[in-house]
A and B are shown apart, each in its own frame.
Chain A
Amino acid sequence: MAYRRAALVGLVILALALPFLFSASRFYAFILGVTYLYILWSSGMNLLSGFTGLMPLMYAGLAGVGAYTTVNLVMKFGVSFWLAMPAGALAAALVGVVLGLPSLRLRGFYFTLSGLVIQTALTMLFVYIPQFTGGDTGISQIPPPLISLPGDRSFPLAGVWLEEALAVAALLTVYVVHRVTQSTLGKYLVAIREDDLLTEALGIGVTRYRVLAFFISSLFAGVGGAFYAHYVGFVSPRSFDVLTSLNIWLIVGFGGQGTILGPIVGAVILAPIPYLMQEFYLYKDIVYGSLIVFTTIFLPRGVYGSLLFHRRTRTSARGKSEAARS
Chain B
Amino acid sequence: MTPEGMLLNGLAVITTGLIVGAIFSLVAAGVTIMYGTIWFPNASNGQFFILAALLMWSLVANWGLSPFLAAVVVIAGSIPFSLILEKFLVRPFYNVPNRNIVYFIMTLGLAQIFAGAFTCTYGRWSDQYSLPATWPGVIMLGPFPFPRTRLLVLLIALILLAGLFAFLRLHRIGRALRAVFQNREAAILRGVDVRRIYRFSFVLAMLIITTGGVLFALAYAFDLTMAWNMAIIAFAIMIVGGPGSVLGSVVIGMIFGFTQAAVSLFASPTLAAFSYLIVMLIILLVKPSGLFAR
Q: Which residues of A contact B (CB under 8 A)?
A: 55, 102-103, 105-106, 108-110, 112-114, 116-118, 120-121, 124, 127-128, 242-243, 246, 249-250, 253, 282-293, 295-297, 300
Contact = CB atoms under 8 A, between A and B. Distances in A.
B105 interface: yes
A146 to B, nearest CB: 37
Nearest to A253: B105
A292 B120 contact: no
Contacts of B284: 103, 106, 110, 113-114, 117
Given A285-B116, A289-B110, A292-B108, A128 B270 contact: yes
Contacts of B101: 55, 108-109, 112
Q: Which of A106, A118, A120, A295 has the most CB of B within 10 A?
A: A120
A39 B105 CA distance: 21
Interface of B: 41, 43, 89, 92, 98, 100-102, 104-106, 108-117, 119-120, 228, 232, 235-236, 239, 268, 270, 273-274, 277-278, 280-281, 284-285, 288
B109 A289 contact: yes
A117 B273 CA distance: 11
A296 B232 CA distance: 22
A109 B116 contact: no
A278 to B, nearest CB: 15
Nearest to A109: B100
B113 A124 contact: no
Contact of B109 (A127, A282, A290): A290
Contacts of B268: 128
A128 B280 CA distance: 20
A282 B119 contact: yes
B106 A293 contact: yes
A285 B115 contact: yes
A55 B106 CA distance: 13
Nearest to A241: B228
Contacts of B108: 242, 246, 292
Most-contacted residue by chain A among B89, B104, B270 (CB, 10 A): B104
State the 9 A-B residue pairs at the shortest beta-carbon distance, nearest first.
A292-B109, A285-B116, A289-B112, A289-B113, A286-B116, A109-B100, A293-B109, A296-B106, A102-B285
Nearest to B270: A124
A284 B288 contact: no
Contact of A109 (B89, B104, B115): B104
B234 to A, nearest CB: 12
A108 B113 contact: no
Contacts of B117: 285-286
A284 B116 contact: yes
A172 to B, nearest CB: 29
A296 B105 contact: yes
B89 A113 contact: no
